[in-house]
Amino acid sequence: MLNHSRVPPDSASVATASGPSVPALREMARRLRRHVITMTAAAGSGHPGGSLSAADIVAILYFKVMRHDPANPQWEDRDRFILSKGHSAPVLYAALAESGYFSMEQLSTLRKPGSCLQGHTDRNLTPGVEMTAGSLGMGLSFGIGVALAARLDHRGYRTYVLLGDGECQEGQTWEAALSAAQFKLDNLTAIVDYNEMQLSGWTREIMNLDPLDKKWQAFGWHTIDTDGHDYDQILAALQEARSTRGKPTAIIAHTVKGKGVSFMENNVRFHGKAPTPEEAERALRELS
In the chain, where the domains are located: 22-286
> By percentage, how much of the chain surpasses pLDDT 70?
94
Question: Which of the four pLDDT bands, split at 50, 70 and 90, describes residue 1?
Answer: very low
pLDDT at 9: 38
- The arithmetic mean of pLDDT across residues 239-245, rounded, is 98
- The arithmetic mean of pLDDT across residues 253-259, rounded, is 98
For 199-218, b/e burial (b = at least 16 CB within 10 A) is eeeebeeeeebeebbebbee
pLDDT at 6: 52
pLDDT at 18: 72
Q: Give tens-digit pLDDT for 157-187.
A: 999 999 999 999 999 999 999 999 999 999 9
Q: In the 8-state DSSP scheme, what is residue 12?
A: -
Q: Give tens-digit pLDDT for 70-116.
A: 999 999 999 999 999 999 999 999 999 999 999 999 999 999 999 99
What is the maximum alpha-carbon separation in the chain? 52
Write down the CATH number for the domain with range 22-286. Answer: 3.40.50.970
Angle at 122 between CA 177 and CA 96, to 5 degrees: 90
Separation CA 165–CA 252 (nearest Å): 9
Kindly report whether the global pTM for this prediction surpasses the value 0.85.
yes
